[in-house]
Amino acid sequence: MRETHKTRLIKYLKNYGSITSIQAIQDLGNTRLSATIFALRELGWSFETEDIKVPTRWGSTTTVTKYSLKSVEN
């Protein structure tokens, strides 16, 4: 099977639990995480989102979104 941004992201989330945009760039080479999440949602995947504060290089903070796979209850 050919790896794509979508398949790499699902594998990453299953292994590491969550991801932010900077992690997607650094670890997956994906510069458009929200577009990949959008495409996966259209395919039926569900995600939980959490806004988190992270430090900037200038000593302030900014808010980014942390994505994780939504648990499926059986």
How would you classify the pairing of strands 47-55 and 61-69? antiparallel
State the pLDDT at residue 71: 75
Sign, CA dihedral 27-18-30-57, equals: negative
Residue ranges covered by each domain of the chain: 5-69
Helices and strands in the chain, H and E counts: 3, 2
pTM for the predicted model, two decimal places = 0.86
| Alpha carbon distance 57, 55 (integer Å) | 7
Three-state SS for 44? Answer: coil
Residue 29 identity (one-letter amino acid): G
pLDDT in tens, 13-55: 999 999 999 999 999 999 999 999 999 999 999 999 999 999 9
For residue 64, report the phi and psi dihedrals to the nearest 5 degrees: -130, 160
